[in-house]
Every structure is written in structure tokens, then in C-alpha cells.
Chains A and B, each alone.
Chain A
């Protein structure tokens, strides 16, 4: 440097950092005061930078990060082919967010992904789907997408804290299924589901990300010809490059691959080589059976996985929700649908639907849901019904193909008739339409017998649904049957074949429903003629054709001919044995009675109609359409004969008044409820109608226990639907008494008793509750140990002890609870929520006996345990939290009690209806006490207003302004202020 010029910035920097000055610099500095001051400043700068540099890495945006005004980027979350994701803080709110950055240089495809992601995510609002806040184009053309930051790890790296790892993973999985189902309902298919796109927080809360290649209804965003998705999780239809076939079932497949990996720790098949080679494996190779990959996988879980991974998407679960529900069933130890046979499928479906409805009513949540199912099973097991069940099984065996066909139909239709579905009618139509196209595109052609049976059963299902249902569907059904007939004629050119007669009979049924009576009559007569030529004119199928002809004549108002035809058909049925012919005979007696009534011969009609209804009460389930039809007929006859037997019997059940109109109204209510038509009448009306029908059935079918049991099962469900807890309790009580009188299956009695005891307890009928609980305990002691699953026994014992506790019969409850806890721990170990629950109950009882401090220590442990374990059912968590909080409050530990109870309340808010009113009272009472004790007026006002809301809600539900006599009042604790 020239000695007379000042130091450059570079030289200053070097000297500031502590380097030695050169001779020239030294000479200059000696002469220049200005530069000496500059060097001193540079040293301070250097010292400052040395101090902040270690901090800078935490606050500086990573190199290459975009500058997004309003956000401070602090790190990279992930970097991949779909752009880099940064962690950032939104400056205005200090909220942490994730920012996905798609560079200008990135492909058009990636930009489209980003844009689509924003567009799609904006439509989805679900706790398990990532929230997208905004997207922005940056100067230069890059795009950023700002979304919720999820502090989690990809699904396949998630390590649950719970002891049973797989169970916890499966719980997470069911939440993912719910989220995906929600997206599907909103018309969005993810198409790239894989563990990397599902982040799971430490608490086990999954969040689905990256809807970048999702397909949405109405968009044509698919990039044709390109492979969408990740090979390892691609479905066969994705791998074979058929974008038009990709739908929600492709996501179900991807979920299946993930489920496989969860259970087995390895992929279902190895993929390697070129894309083409991988695609071939996906399309052709069957997965390694899960139990071969990991022998520890339960057979039920294996069945679920394999069903989700079917190559043909029609054979997979019909929705992500259905897959999730089956996994839930597996977790609850219930039979899974993936392994269901056809006949049981129907029964279980009905029971499962019932259980779901019970679940939200259940004071003890899942406990009662299970009991609800067991009641239904228990009733079905009762000796009086066993004969009928046996007959049905006989039939099912004889008609295996038919059953398989029913399954095919049910697979399409029943999932869609899920009561949770918003528009049931539309969904049923859609299901039947899909079935039609499947049939007509040869979907079942691999098995001609199955194809034919499906067509026929569809026809008869349609016929039984009745007229007026979506004309287009009737057309499909008719078309499908006619096409089937053409194929049959080609196969059997001789023309006379039972299959042709059967299909012609179904066709006649459809034509009758469609009101094309002349064609229906011709078809029925054709079928009758074929049976005659085959020499089978006295068999059951021919009798059915004769009966159908009678129905056609009735519809045509040719009363005299109808009467004669009905009598002829009834004779044919009379000569045949079995339930079906008994039913056919009842149906024909009713038809004859109808014709007679129209001919003005009500007196002759009455005994026939009465006999038909009595038979239908005994043989059909309550509110079966045929039974209802006869009921209406009887009401019409009673109207015509006000002094007749029927009028008297109907009046005994319905009371005085316009009988015909009221019976008809009830029949409509029951029919609508049975078919689950939209706008179904009030559940209360259904309950009342069933009660009246039972009264009539008891009168005219004689003291038939089987009828009573069947009705009570329906009444229990109806009371449950209508949230009529007391009625529910009474019906369960009645059922228990009936079963006891029949000396029937103790397990069935037990579940009825338990249900009644629980509901009495919660509605304030303490003596009844205790008496039934005590009876339940007696029965428990009498059941031989080998005859019952020990855990079922232990849980039943636990509940019995609980009801005694609620009624403050602490000393009786204590040994029962102690034994239950010992048995439960022997089955599941001490580190299980059931054990924690049992211990908490013992503690509650202990508090009731005056040992509050000891009790608190126990509930504290139970509470800590269940909060740690994400697999604990929510209702268990609530109840333990409530007990613990209540004991804390009772011991004057208001602040802690407040924290626990507020947590319960906050969790509860998202599950409205999970807790019965009585529990809400307890919760809010306690919170009010906390607020008062802590002198927090705001809080007090808040809980007072919640208490008012609860009171109003209860009044709306139960119709009683006064609360029930506090069965919930937990033990009073000594020393309580």
C-alpha cells in the first residue's frame, strides 16, 4: 500500500480480525489517526461477529432458501424431488409453519403439483389432513406453499410409546383411513399415499400431506401417460397406466401396502428393475402371505391386508372407511368382514350398525356398545330362536351359490347404505348402478352360475324394496334379468330348464313392481308352464310362481280371480314343509283375505288375515314388510268390522280412536325405518310403534316367547336410537326376565342384565340397577370357568362392581371389583388400560369407604397411565379423568382437579354425545366448585353457562326438566369443604 493512502476495507477487515500489520500498514497507522480509529471499530465488529456467529446458524435461512416476506425461514425440513420444504416462523403470529419451495427452474409438472396442492387442500378441512394457509408466486416465478408445520416423523419411522407396538400403529392407521375417506367424500383421490406422506406426531396423531398429484372431481389434471405415484405403493391400475381407472380404491390399495409393512416389516413384494418390470410385478404377483412374512400376524389381520391388496379393485374394501372399520373391529376383537361368509355377513352388518349407533349413546361408551351387540347375539342364541337359526343355516348351506351372489350384491349396496352416509338413497342407487355395469361388462362372467344368481337376487331384492324407488334402477334390474335370460336360452336351447323358470319368475316380480301387469301375468304363467313341463308343478318354486300370479291379479283388481288363485297357491304351500312354505301360505292367506275384503266379505276375510299375521309374527323379524302389509290389512278389516275380533285386539294395543289410520301410520313409520329411507320418522315414533306391535303380537300369536324375544331385540335398538334410556333399560330388563324364565343361555341373560343395570344406573334407578347388578354377579359365579372367555367374565364382573359403587353399596362392590381387577390383570397384565381402569374403579370405591388419600394415589397412577397410551379408548380416558378429577376436587386440591377436568372437557368437546348427561353434570359441577374455590369469577360464569347448556340439552333429549336423582354422585369424601 502506498504509505500516504488510507487502509482499504479488506486490510481493515484483516487487521480487525487480529492479523499482524505489515510494515507499510504500521507506518501508515502511526501517521493516520483516522485509520487507527477505523481499526479499533473493525476490532469491535469482529468481536461482535465472533459472538453472534454461533447463534446465526439457528436464525439464518439455510443457503438457497427463498426470501418470503412475512416469514423467517430457519431450517430445512426435507428436500426431495418435489421441492424443498423449510421450517419457518410467521412473523406476525410467531407461528411455526412449513414452506414448500418450488423453484423457477423446476419442471412444469412440479409447478402444477404445487398449484393443485393448494387448490385441493383448500377444500379439505380435517384434523388428519395438513392445512394449507396460502401460496405465493415469488419474483422470478418461483412458488411457495405455506402450510401447517407438523412436528412428526414419517409413518414408517414412527415408534409408538405404547407397549403393544402393532396395536398402537393400527390405531394410527385407522385415523389415516378416516382422513382419506373424508378426502374421497370430498371428491379428492390422493394417488400418492406412502409413509413419507403421512407424518405422525409423538402423541400418535397422523397428518396426511402432499396432495400434489391428487385427482379431484371435475378436474382433468392427470398428466396423461405419466406414471403418477410411487411404485412401491402403486395399485395395479396405476401401474398398468390406466389413469381413468384410478379412483378411491387405488388409495385403498396403497393403504393396504402400508398396513402390510406395519404388520410384516417388509413390502408385500420386492420391486426392482425398470419401471416396466416393476409394473408387471405389481399387476401380476400376489403378495407374500403376511403370515409367511411374519408368523406373528393374526389370521384376521392377514385377511384384512389381503382384501385391501386385491388386484381387482372391485374385490377390495369398498372404501377407506370400510378398511379402517375392519381394522377397528380387529382391534376390538370382533369378527372382521374380510373373513365373513355370506349369511353371517348380513347378520353382523346389522349388528355392527347397531353397535355404532349404540356407541355414542353409551354411558360407558364401548362397554355398552359391546354389550349391545352381545344382547343381539344373546337373544339370537336363545333356545327359542335356535330352531329358526338352525333352519336358516340349513338353507344357507343348500344355497351356497345364492349366498355368494347375495354377498356380491351386499358388497356393492350395503356399504353404501351405511347410516352415516349423508344421502343414503343416492348411494344405494349408485351401488346398484355399479352392479349393473359390472354385470353387463362381464364382471362376474368368470362364474356363470354366480352371474345368473346375482341377476336373479338383484331382481328379488328390487322387488322387495318395492315400487316407486328410482325408475332407472327398476329398468336396470329388468334389463339385467332379461340379458341373463337371453344367455340362459343360448345355454339351454331346449327352453325348459329350472334356471330359465327361476329367472322368468324374477322377471315377473320386477314387472309387477313396475306396474306392467299384463307382461307380469304372462311371465308368471310362462314360469308356471315350464315347471309343469318339467314335472315340478308341486314344488316350492312353482308354488311361489302361483303366489306371484295371485299378487299380479290383486294388483289388477281382478278380485275374484285373485281370491281363487291365492287359495290354490295357499293349498300348494300347505302341502310343503318348512319355513318358506309356511311363509308362502301366510302370504297367500293374506292375499285371499285382501280379495275377500274387496269383494265385501270382511267377515270371511278376518280369520284368514288374523292367521296370516300370527304366522308372520312368529316367522318374520319384527317390522318385516310382509308382516306390515298384513298388519295394515288387519286394520282395514277392523275398520270394516268395528265389533270384530281384530278390532278388539287392535284396540287393546293401540287404544281407542281411528284404528285404521293409526295402525297405517305406525306401519309406515316401521317400514321407513326398516328401509332407512331419507327423512325417516322420529326414532321415538318407531319405538312406540314397536311397543304397540309387540302388544298385538302377544295377543294374537299367543304367549310365544320367540316372538317376544325378537321384538324386544328390536325395541332395545329402537330405544337406543331414540336415546330413551329408561325404556331401553326396561326392555333389556324384560328380555333378561324372559330369558331367565326360559332358563336360557346364561351369557345372553348376563348381557341383558348388564345393559339394563347400566342404563338404570345412569337414569337414576339405583335399586333396580343394584338388583340387576347383583343378579349379574350371581350368574357370573354360576358360569363354569371353561365356558366363557376369562376376559369377558372379568370385564362383566368389573362392570357389576361399578354399578354397585354408583349406588354407594361400597362394601358389596369392593370384593367384586377386587376379583375383577385380579382376573383382568391375569389376562392382560398390569400395563394395560383395562387394568388401569379396574384399579381406578377400586380407588373410587375406596374413596367411598373413606380412604380418599389412598384412592387418589391410585387414580393418579391410572390417569397418568391412560394419558400416556394413545391406544386407550376415549371413553375410558374420560371416565378415569372424571374420577381422578372428582377425587381431587373432593380433597380440596382444586387447582390440580381443575387441570384434569378441563382436559377431560376439552377432549370431550370434540366427541359430543360420548358422555351421558349425568357425567356431564358431575364434570361441570366439579368445575364450578373449582372456580368458586379458586375465586375465579370468569371461570365460574363460563361453567355456569355450560351447566345451563347441558340442562337445556338434557331437557331436549329426555323431556324432563329435573335431573335424575344423581346416580352419578361419586363418593362423598371425608374432609371435603
Chain B
């Protein structure tokens, strides 16, 4: 049995949510899953769960989400989908921490405040979006490996162009061209993906 492939990463959350009404549309479920799982898992990690606990928290959160969604418990008018999932994730994560016996610290620790969790969520979302965008660039047949490497070195790792040129076997000018071209592609992709992530009204 092959697992369903997520559908296009830039389909908006609204489109995916609509498709999710149809229980046979596993690809849409896989897309929602692929979109939110790393974010929830990352958030759980930041809140102090270890790897397997965080994995479990993500699983529970998404299972609870899909159950509630199919039961019509999600009211779009009352808030964004990501806020809603964040709410489920928050309860799940705090529940796990409590069970681990950390109940006493929950009230006092600033980490668990709503505001902090929301900003942590945003950072995790940005991370996920960036990772997804980079991965799309890598899979893009129009972008060759050397160009991508030149961009990574100069744009993301801060390596001087001359050094990058010698590492990639390119001229310095070619490196600059690569950096500029890929930066623009990446910027567009990040914007599209962020919009797709948040567009749910």
C-alpha cells in the first residue's frame, strides 16, 4: 500500500479544508498533515517534550483535529484554522507535561503563556515554510545543483562570493547571478506558501 502523496503544497488551507469533507480524499488529508505536523512537533519540542513525546503530541493533535473537523466542531467564523490547531496542540502538550508530573511548573513558566506559544508557533511555521520552499527548489528541474549550492553558500551561510566560486567551480559573476536569481525564487515561494498556509477564510 502506498501512502497518499500530499497534493500541491500551494493549495490554500481553505481548499484543503473543503476537500477534507470528502473522507475519500486522502491526498488532502496528507497535505494538511504534512503542513501542520512539523509545526506542532516543533512547538512541542520547544515546550520541553522529548522527540518521541513530541511525535506523539503531533499525532494526537492532528487526529483530534480531523475528528473534530469531520464532526463539524470547527467553526470557521470563530477563528483561523491555525489558531484552532494551536489550541488543540496546546492542550495536548500541556496534558503530556502534566502527566509527566510537571504540573506544578506549568502555572509559573512564561514559556506556556498564550502569547509566547503563539510566537513560537509562528516561528515554527516560518521554519516549516522555509524548509518546504528550499525542498521545492531542490526538486525544481530548472535549478541545477551548482546554482543552488552557490546560493546556499552566499545567501544563507554567509560565505564570500569568491570562496563560493571556488567551491562550486564557477566564476564570481556566475555566483552573484545565481544568488540573485535563486533569492528571488525563494522569496516568491516563501510568500506563496505562507499565504497558502494562512489563507483559510
B52 and A201 contact, CB distance less than 8 A: yes
B190 and A9 contact, CB distance less than 8 A: no
Say yes or no: is B179 at the interface (Cβ < 8 Å to chain A): yes
Say yes or no: is A390 at the interface (Cβ < 8 Å to chain B): no
Return the chain A residue nearest B184 by Cβ: A45
Out of B33, B34, B100, B156, name the residue touching A56 (CB < 8 Å).
B156
Residues of B within 8 A of A92 (CB): 3, 5-6, 34
Q: Mark B158-197, 1 if CB is under 8 A from A, else 0.
A: 1001000000000011001101100110110010000000
Residues of A within 8 A of B186 (CB): 48, 52
Residues of A within 8 A of B158 (CB): 53
Residues of B within 8 A of A96 (CB): 51, 55
Say yes or no: is B126 at the interface (Cβ < 8 Å to chain A): yes
Whether A55 contacts B180 in the complex (CB less than 8 A), given A49-B156, A67-B138, A201-B52, comes out as no
Residues of A within 8 A of B52 (CB): 151, 201, 203
A151 and B50 contact, CB distance less than 8 A: yes
A89 and B180 contact, CB distance less than 8 A: no
Return the chain A residue nearest B30 by Cβ: A92
Out of B135, B155, B184, name the residue touching A72 (CB < 8 Å).
B135
A59 and B131 contact, CB distance less than 8 A: yes
Q: Mark A887-916, 1 if CB is under 8 A from B, else 0.
A: 000000000000100000000000000000
A84-99 contacts to B (CB < 8 Å):
89, 91-94, 96
Say yes or no: is A202 at the interface (Cβ < 8 Å to chain B): yes
Least CB distance from B45 to A in Å reads 10
Whether A45 contacts B173 in the complex (CB less than 8 A), given A52-B156, A60-B157, A96-B55, comes out as no
Say yes or no: is A149 at the interface (Cβ < 8 Å to chain B): yes
Say yes or no: is B66 at the interface (Cβ < 8 Å to chain A): no
Whether A149 contacts B51 in the complex (CB less than 8 A), given A45-B180, A94-B38, A868-B101, comes out as yes
**In the assembly, what is the distance between CA of A49 and CA of B130, in Å?**
11
Return the chain A residue nearest B180 by Cβ: A9
Residues of B within 8 A of A59 (CB): 127, 130-131, 134
Say yes or no: is A58 at the interface (Cβ < 8 Å to chain B): yes
Chain A residues bordering chain B, tally (CB within 8 A): 38
Least CB distance from B56 to A in Å reads 11
Say yes or no: is B152 at the interface (Cβ < 8 Å to chain A): yes
Residues of B within 8 A of A63 (CB): 157
Out of A12, A52, A60, A149, name the residue touching B180 (CB < 8 Å).
A12
A52 and B51 contact, CB distance less than 8 A: no
Least CB distance from B46 to A in Å reads 12
Residues of B within 8 A of A203 (CB): 52
Say yes or no: is B73 at the interface (Cβ < 8 Å to chain A): no
A10 and B173 contact, CB distance less than 8 A: yes
B130 and A13 contact, CB distance less than 8 A: no
Say yes or no: is B11 at the interface (Cβ < 8 Å to chain A): no
A53 and B156 contact, CB distance less than 8 A: yes
Q: Mark B36-60, 1 if CB is under 8 A from A, else 0.
A: 0110010000000011100100100
**In the assembly, what is the distance between CA of A397 and CA of B130, in Å?**
79
A55 and B130 contact, CB distance less than 8 A: yes
A56 and B130 contact, CB distance less than 8 A: yes
Q: Mark A680-691, 1 if CB is under 8 A from B, else 0.
A: 000000000000
Say yes or no: is B99 at the interface (Cβ < 8 Å to chain A): yes
Chain B residues bordering chain A, tally (CB within 8 A): 44
Whether A867 contacts B99 in the complex (CB less than 8 A), given A59-B127, A60-B134, A201-B52, comes out as yes
Residues of B within 8 A of A42 (CB): 180
**In the assembly, what is the distance between CA of A96 and CA of B52, in Å?**
10
**In the assembly, what is the distance between CA of A48 and CA of B129, in Å?**
14
A8 and B176 contact, CB distance less than 8 A: yes
Say yes or no: is A779 at the interface (Cβ < 8 Å to chain B): no
Q: Mark A8-22, 1 if CB is under 8 A from B, else 0.
A: 111011000000000
Say yes or no: is A395 at the interface (Cβ < 8 Å to chain B): no
Whether A13 contacts B101 in the complex (CB less than 8 A), given A59-B131, A60-B134, A89-B38, comes out as no
Residues of A within 8 A of B187 (CB): 44-45, 48
**In the assembly, what is the distance between CA of A91 and CA of B3, in Å?**
12
Least CB distance from B171 to A in Å reads 10
**In the assembly, what is the distance between CA of A93 and CA of B184, in Å?**
29
Return the chain B residue nearest A74 by Cβ: B131
Least CB distance from A865 to B in Å reads 8
Whether A91 contacts B135 in the complex (CB less than 8 A), given A45-B187, A59-B130, comes out as yes
Residues of B within 8 A of A10 (CB): 161, 172-173, 176
B177 and A9 contact, CB distance less than 8 A: yes
**In the assembly, what is the distance between CA of A201 and CA of B51, in Å?**
9
Least CB distance from A95 to B in Å reads 8
**In the assembly, what is the distance between CA of A481 and CA of B179, in Å?**
85
Return the chain B residue nearest A205 by Cβ: B52
Q: Mark A860-889, 1 if CB is under 8 A from B, else 0.
A: 000010011000000000000000000000
Residues of A within 8 A of B50 (CB): 151, 201-202
**In the assembly, what is the distance between CA of A48 and CA of B135, in Å?**
18
Residues of B within 8 A of A151 (CB): 50-52
Return the chain B residue nearest A46 by Cβ: B183
Least CB distance from A821 to B in Å reads 21
A56 and B157 contact, CB distance less than 8 A: yes
A48 and B99 contact, CB distance less than 8 A: no
**In the assembly, what is the distance between CA of A13 and CA of B165, in Å?**
15
A94 and B100 contact, CB distance less than 8 A: no
B179 and A868 contact, CB distance less than 8 A: no
Residues of A within 8 A of B135 (CB): 72, 91
Residues of B within 8 A of A8 (CB): 173, 176
Whether A49 contacts B3 in the complex (CB less than 8 A), given A8-B173, A13-B161, A58-B127, comes out as no
A55 and B127 contact, CB distance less than 8 A: yes
**In the assembly, what is the distance between CA of A44 and CA of B176, in Å?**
15
**In the assembly, what is the distance between CA of A913 and CA of B53, in Å?**
28
**In the assembly, what is the distance between CA of A512 and CA of B180, in Å?**
95
**In the assembly, what is the distance between CA of A359 and CA of B105, in Å?**
40
Residues of B within 8 A of A48 (CB): 183, 186-187, 190
Least CB distance from B157 to A in Å reads 7
B37 and A94 contact, CB distance less than 8 A: yes
Return the chain B residue nearest A900 by Cβ: B99
Return the chain B residue nearest A67 by Cβ: B138
Residues of A within 8 A of B33 (CB): 94
B71-127 contacts to A (CB < 8 Å):
95, 99-101, 123, 126-127
Least CB distance from B191 to A in Å reads 9
B183 and A12 contact, CB distance less than 8 A: no
Residues of B within 8 A of A867 (CB): 99-101
Q: Mark A143-163, 1 if CB is under 8 A from B, else 0.
A: 000000101000000000000
Return the chain B residue nearest A868 by Cβ: B101
Residues of A within 8 A of B55 (CB): 96
Return the chain B residue nearest A51 by Cβ: B126
**In the assembly, what is the distance between CA of A735 and CA of B152, in Å?**
80
Q: Mark B1-14, 1 if CB is under 8 A from A, else 0.
A: 00101100000000
**In the assembly, what is the distance between CA of A74 and CA of B135, in Å?**
12
Residues of A within 8 A of B152 (CB): 60
Out of A12, A53, A60, A74, name the residue touching B176 (CB < 8 Å).
A12
**In the assembly, what is the distance between CA of A151 and CA of B52, in Å?**
7
B176 and A13 contact, CB distance less than 8 A: yes
Residues of A within 8 A of B127 (CB): 55, 58-59
**In the assembly, what is the distance between CA of A458 and CA of B131, in Å?**
69
Return the chain A residue nearest B176 by Cβ: A9
9 nearest interchain CB pairs? A151-B51, A9-B176, A59-B131, A56-B156, A94-B37, A45-B183, A10-B176, A48-B187, A864-B101
Chosen A-B contacts, 30 in total, with CB atoms closer than 8 Å, are A10-B172, A10-B173, A13-B176, A13-B180, A42-B180, A44-B187, A45-B184, A45-B187, A49-B183, A52-B126, A53-B156, A53-B158, A55-B126, A59-B134, A60-B152, A67-B145, A69-B139, A91-B135, A92-B5, A92-B34, A93-B3, A94-B37, A94-B38, A96-B51, A151-B50, A151-B52, A864-B99, A864-B101, A899-B95, A899-B99
Given contact pairs A45-B187, A48-B190, A867-B100, enumerate 13 new A-B contacts (beta carbons under 8 Å). A10-B173, A10-B176, A45-B183, A55-B126, A55-B127, A56-B130, A59-B131, A69-B139, A89-B38, A91-B34, A201-B52, A868-B100, A899-B95
